[in-house]
Amino acid sequence: MIPLVVTNWLVNNGFGDVVSTKTVSGGCVNKCLVITTSSYRTLFLKTNSQCPKDMFEREAEGLEELRIGKGPRVPKTYLYEDDFILLEDVKPSAPQENYWEKFGVQLATLHNQVNPRFGFYHNNYIGSTAQINNWMDDGYRFFAEQRLLYQAELAYKKGLMTVDDLKKLEHLANCLPMLIPSQKASLIHGDLWSGNLIPDLFGNPTLIDPATHYGWAEAELAMTSLFGGFPESFYFSYEEVHPLEPGYHTRFRVYNLYQLLNHVNLFGVDYYHQVKEILHYFSERKI
């Protein structure tokens, strides 16, 4: 059902009356509709009556921060309240021939936007999990405390992680300066897997569902290797604009602990074996 405030807004802003709606896939969290109006225009509506009251506000804020010149396309936000967000309909289509090369350049351009500190203006959400974004000067402390340890403690409190694994992760977090090269705080999408990147009507790469913050660019790239991965042409194009320290692929295990721990907290023990494998990998190497 479309909220009354949305139908009134559509009429008052020249879109006209709602003619039809179509339910579309919206992941595991929200209900999603494509709305067609009497002006023959379409819009995208996400609703969730059970979500945190600021979740859609934070999504709108994150999308706006990602909107930079020569960066990836992001949909326009029209309206949001506690239980919905009304967005531009991207009209997903087939990707352009040079889709991945183009996105590599665009994402690198986004990552070249830097901040003196790590974090963001507010806490936000990665999926439905709260993402803590308190500003910090030290990227190692930021990733250790507000990414790895925060998620691990959530999992431990839910009974999804053992004391032994928690201790291993705490040790690994303390060793980050030995494993990760120094990096600036880059503007990143924060939840970049293939499901949050779609080609629009003209085949242009378009980012959706962000967990925006200023963090390590390599951590963003690491997530692109999960859940199917991105093609090599993407990484080649990316490095033409934003060169990386040698061996960045070897560091993906460390970065992806954050995303995998979040999946443990969201979906349960199905992802736990991947967390254990990474912790075992570093434990065996006496890190």
Query: Catalytic amino acids?
Result: 191
- The C-alpha atoms of residue 132 and residue 129 are separated, in whole angstroms, by 10
What are the DSSP calls for 188-244, one per residue? E-SS-SGGGEEE-TTS-EEE-S---EEE-HHHHHHHTTSTT---HHHHHHHHHHS--
Alpha-carbon span 135 to 256, nearest angstrom:
21
Q: CA-CA distance, 277 to 258, in Å (whole number)? A: 14
Give the Cβ contact number of residue 121 at 10 Å: 14
Alpha-carbon span 201 to 197, nearest angstrom: 13
